[in-house]
């Protein structure tokens, strides 16, 4: 964060599939919000990120005095590149741009200066032990191929396996066919392995899971997906049984009750689930200025 008190602060929370922005007037506390594509430095090249940042700049009524971006993949050289591109896009000195991971943004929003375990369950997943000012420990998420337990990609992959291996009963199979009439095994292989559409494509089947989550087979699949996530959480953060555990993300919000029940069975109490951390993040950051 900038060390001075900017009159206008542009805050971004950028996950795997979108970037959510708020231009905040410090004097009034009013925020102008808009959405762009993501700016993940681990996935996109500088020219793509520059184009997305230019889009964000074009949505502003005035240049900001400072920018704080929390983005997936914003670590090491990638974070430095994102900071440079943001400074150029918004016409700022590099010192007026702050870049950190979306996980740090989520933890800041959920806990502020309090210690706890922060979790993101959206298209992907990520977790950390938050000290109250920084990430104390992080279980590597490892992406949708090797990890991202509990995420939209994990739920979508399980749903695709059930459907394409013909493990749905007749009513559920009919509902699947009606929802995705042109979907078959070759088209899924094409999308995932040849077009490399990745986690966003796989997670796009989560709305079907949510619409049918009371079906016994789907309910069992959701529970199994969250059990794997909570088992990894418990192994990585023994403190989770004693500290507050809080979540952000669309998947956590859509399946909040199911998530809480599985966590409770492992002795973990989830005391907060926030779909979108941006509003809370705005409040936390303004309180620091």
Name the nearest CA neighbour of 119 among 224, 253, 288, 223.
253
Q: Is the dihedral of CA 93, 31, 21, 233 positive or negative?
A: positive
| Residues, the chain | 289
Q: Given the structure tokens 């555990």, which residue do they identify? A: 245
289 residues of the chain, pLDDT tens digit each? 544 567 889 999 987 778 999 998 877 777 788 999 989 888 888 999 999 999 999 999 888 999 999 998 889 999 999 999 999 999 999 999 999 999 999 999 999 999 999 999 998 899 999 999 899 999 888 777 788 899 999 999 999 999 999 999 999 999 999 999 989 999 998 888 878 778 889 999 999 999 999 999 999 999 999 999 999 999 999 999 899 999 999 999 999 999 999 999 999 999 999 998 888 888 887 765 3
What would the pLDDT profile of 202-255 be if each residue is shown by its tens digit? Answer: 999 999 999 999 999 999 999 999 999 999 999 999 999 899 999 999 999 999
- Classify strands 19-25 and 31-36 as parallel, antiparallel or unpaired: antiparallel
Radius of gyration, CA atoms only, the chain: 20
What would the pLDDT profile of 193-211 be if each residue is shown by its tens digit? Answer: 878 778 889 999 999 999 9
The CA dihedral of 80, 81, 85, 88, to the nearest 10 degrees, is: 60
Task: Report residue 37 as tokens.
Answer: 């594509």
At a CB cut-off of 8 Å and minimum separation 6, what does 155 contact?
203, 205, 206, 209, 221, 222, 225, 251
């Amino acid at each position: 964060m900038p060390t001075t008190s900017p009159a206008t602060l542009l805050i971004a929370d950028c996950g795997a599939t979108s970037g959510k922005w708020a231009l905040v007037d410090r004097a009034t506390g009013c925020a102008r919000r808009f959405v762009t594509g993501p700016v993940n430095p681990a996935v996109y090249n500088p020219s793509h990120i520059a184009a997305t940042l230019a889009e964000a700049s074009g949505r502003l009524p005035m240049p900001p005095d400072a920018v704080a971006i929390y983005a997936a993949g914003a670590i090491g050289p990638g974070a430095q590149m994102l900071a440079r591109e943001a400074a150029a896009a918004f016409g700022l000195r590099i010192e007026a741009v702050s870049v950190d991971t979306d996980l740090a943004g989520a933890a800041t929003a959920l806990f502020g200066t309090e210690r706890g375990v922060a979790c993101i369950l959206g298209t992907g997943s990520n977790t950390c032990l938050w000290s109250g000012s920084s990430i104390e420990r992080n279980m590597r998420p490892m992406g949708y191929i090797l990890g991202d337990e509990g995420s939209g990609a994990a739920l979508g992959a399980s749903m695709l396996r059930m459907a394409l291996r013909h493990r749905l009963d007749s009513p559920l199979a009919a509902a699947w066919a009606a929802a995705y009439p042109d979907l078959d095994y070759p088209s899924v292989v094409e999308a995932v392995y040849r077009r490399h559409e990745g986690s966003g494509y796989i997670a796009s089947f989560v709305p079907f899971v949510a619409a049918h989550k009371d079906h016994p087979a789907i309910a069992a699949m959701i529970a199994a997906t969250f059990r794997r996530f909570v088992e990894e959480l418990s192994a990585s953060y023994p403190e989770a049984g004693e500290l507050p555990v809080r979540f952000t993300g669309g998947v956590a919000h859509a399946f909040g009750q199911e998530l809480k029940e599985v966590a409770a069975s492992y002795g973990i109490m989830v005391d907060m689930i926030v779909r979108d951390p941006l509003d809370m993040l705005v409040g936390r950051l303004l309180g620091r200025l």
